[in-house]
Amino acid sequence: MEERYLRAIRNALVKHQQWLTRDPSMKGRCADLSFHNLSGLGLRRINLSGAKLSGANLNSARLSGAVLSRTDLFGADLSKADLTGASLEGADLRGARVEGALMEEANLRGADLRKGMMLGADERKPAGNADGSTTFIGSKMARAILSDARLAQCDFSGCDLCGATFSGSDMTGTILIGANLIGAVMERVEMQGALLCGARLDDELRQTLERRGIDVDGTGLVSLAGRMADSISAHQLWVERNAAAGQRLEMQRVDLRGYNFANQLLAGSVMRFCGLRGADFSGAKLVMADLSYCDLREADFTSADLSGCNLRGANLAGAKLWRARLRPVDLAGDGSRLWPTNLAEASLTGADLRDTSLARAILHGTDLTRIRATTETLRGADLSFAVGVEPQYA
């Protein structure tokens, strides 16, 4: 950023602090940094209560411990920002993109996270989601406080919400596909139409939700099973003709529980956020496919080729991966550019990985609790950031 631009931002922040303290010199002023670029800035513990940051770019900003109570963040981009322990009480986050952010123990009590469309004018275009959706996909929100918040249709897919509190919130249509909700508190919440496909729930919360008539395995997902055969045929033609004919298989939030994909050519296909519990992928070719944030519990991947497959945030608890291939894909043909299989943040709890190698797969945050394995399964694998590494050897 230009020094002059940074100086203007700094002056606005200084005047905001004066405004907050009611400086008798009357030089203080509420900061209006709407549509400004604040990406990557170090703003730890800063007090921006009541500031106007609508449409602003705060991507990768360092805001740990910051006070953003009642701050206008409508249409802002907070992706990959560090908001650990930050206070966002009553903040307006409609239409904001907050994906991959660090928000452990953040306080969003009473915040507004509903959809909100902002129309840009001239060069003033919002940095958030153009469709007005509010997304927290893949964010770390353990022990976050979301009580009394407006969360209707907000997307928390793949979020770590372990121990988070939602009491008194409106969660109508909230998307929690593949989210970790172990220990979450959901008292007095409205959850009509919420999507919990593949979410990780403890027994108590699961029973509580089911008693309320909530289908935690697939509520609201669209069923396309009857038309899948034609879609797969078109995709196979797309692969065989190098995209010159046919059509790539691309779908999201589809209910395909138990579907038979055995021995199908699905290389490069896209099936994100889908309900695929118990699906049969045995012998299927899923090279470079995108199955991120899918519910793949008890799915059968026996002898499947998952080389270079994106399984980020997927729930593979109890899946069968006998003889499955999880190798990197050689994109250059000479070994200089390898595209690894991505299992980051995936849950493999209790999965059968016998005769499968996790060497060179991305295992950042991967849950390997109670996996069934052989001595070859973890040989050469980087387990530095994996969790629950306690395999049961066959």
**CATH code for position 289:** 2.160.20
Cβ-contact 146, 174 below 8 angstroms:
no
For 228, phi and psi rounded to 5 degrees? Answer: -65, -35
Cβ-contact 76, 55 below 8 angstroms:
yes
* Domain that includes residue 256, residue range: 225-393
Residue 363: per-residue pLDDT: 96
**Cα separation of 290 and 24, whole Å?**
58
Nearest by Cα to 292 from 273, 318, 264 = 273
For 226, phi and psi rounded to 5 degrees? Answer: -70, -25
Residue 219: per-residue pLDDT: 63
Cβ-contact 55, 74 below 8 angstroms:
yes
Cβ-contact 59, 80 below 8 angstroms:
yes
Is residue 4 included in any domain, yes or no? no
Is residue 240 included in any domain, yes or no? yes
Is residue 157 included in any domain, yes or no? no
Report, as ranges of residue numbers, the positions in the chain whose pLDDT lies below 70: 1, 119-123, 218-219, 394
Is residue 295 included in any domain, yes or no? yes
Structure tokens at 49: 């209560």
Is residue 290 included in any domain, yes or no? yes
* Sign of the Cα pseudo-torsion (350, 351, 353, 359, in order): negative
Is residue 136 included in any domain, yes or no? no
Residue 121: per-residue pLDDT: 59
What does R_g of the chain's alpha carbons equal in angstroms? 23
Is residue 255 included in any domain, yes or no? yes
Nearest by Cα to 392 from 362, 354, 361 = 354
Instruction: Kindly state the DSSP code that residue 221 receives in the 8-state scheme.
Output: P
Q: How many independent structural domains does the chain possess?
A: 1
Residue 341: per-residue pLDDT: 97
The string over 237-266, giving b where at least 16 C-beta atoms fall within 10 Å of a residue's C-beta and e elsewhere, is: ebbeeeeeeeeebebbbbbbbebebeebbb
Structure tokens at 61: 């900003």
**Cα separation of 114 and 73, whole Å?**
12
Is residue 381 included in any domain, yes or no? yes
